[in-house]
């Protein structure tokens, strides 16, 4: 869901960078050594998932996995996603430096919402059914939140053209609304078998 350069006004880009810098600052302060392997893992997962994309208008359609990342990383998703976005920009020219702050907000802010809402539930004794519910919610909130924030940034520019672009963005991501939660469920079920204690370590 990367937005392209040349779409947003300088004032909107400044807002995006301001929010992103605050998020990165908080994320770095909250990151501890025990969380570093997961930061690297989800940064790599996000990098790979969103590298496989289909350009649609001023954006692109790809898996996001920000919900499941936010569930385990919390505010650390900001530095984790920043690394992935910079690598994508340098290696594949996705997005651009001017929209880096906005794109980071689009990906990371919904992940924070997932962490806040679902962390109390992931820390409990889990059943297969509860993990399916949590994975579904993480995927839906992550994708829907990213679409909403992208729409907000675009709506700040105004005009019918941007309204049409917002609708195109939302409609084109319908498949992601389905696939992202399924992958999130699969990750949680796999972790429940391989390392069930990890759910009690989320904080």
Which residues lie closer than 8 Å to 153 by C-beta, 6 or more apart? 3, 8, 12, 16, 102, 105, 106
Please report how the helices 77-92 and 66-73 are oriented relative to each other, as an axis angle in degrees rounded to 10. 140
Complete DSSP assignment for 21-82: HHHHHHHHHH--GGGHHHHHHHHHHHHHHHHSEEEETTEEEE---HHHHHHHHGGGHHHHHH
β-partners of residue 80 are: none
Helix (H) or strand (E) holding 115: helix 100-122
Residue 132's pLDDT band (cuts 50, 70, 90) = very high
Q: What's the confidence (pLDDT) of residue 162?
A: 66
Domains of the chain and CATH, by start: 10-201 (1.10.1760.20)
Closest CA to 142 of 172, 182, 171: 182
User: Which of the pair, 163 or 132, is modelled with greater confidence?
Assistant: 132
Give pLDDT tens digits for 5-19. 877 889 999 999 999
Q: What is the pTM (predicted TM-score) of this model?
A: 0.87
Q: What is the dihedral of CA 174, 180, 182, 183, to 10 degrees?
A: 150
């Amino acid at each position: 869901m990367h937005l392209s350069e040349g779409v947003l006004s300088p004032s909107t880009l400044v807002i995006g960078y301001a929010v992103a810098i605050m998020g990165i600052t908080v994320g770095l302060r909250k990151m501890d050594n025990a969380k570093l392997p997961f930061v690297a893992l989800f940064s790599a997962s996000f990098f790979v998932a969103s590298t496989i994309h289909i350009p649609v208008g001023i954006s692109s359609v790809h898996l996001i996995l920000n919900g499941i990342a936010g569930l385990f990383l919390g505010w650390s998703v900001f530095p984790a996603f920043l690394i992935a976005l910079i690598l994508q920009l340098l290696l594949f020219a996705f997005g651009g430096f001017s929209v880096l702050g906005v794109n980071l907000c689009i990906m990371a802010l919904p992940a924070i919402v997932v962490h806040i809402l679902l962390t109390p539930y992931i820390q409990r004794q889990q059943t297969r059914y509860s993990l399916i519910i949590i994975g579904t919610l993480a995927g839906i909130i992550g994708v829907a939140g990213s679409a909403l924030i992208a729409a907000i940034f675009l709506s700040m520019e105004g005009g019918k053209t941007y309204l049409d672009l917002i609708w195109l963005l939302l409609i084109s991501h319908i498949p992601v609304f389905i696939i992202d939660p399924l992958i999130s469920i699969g990750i949680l079920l796999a972790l429940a078998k391989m390392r069930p204690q990890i759910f009690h370590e989320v904080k």
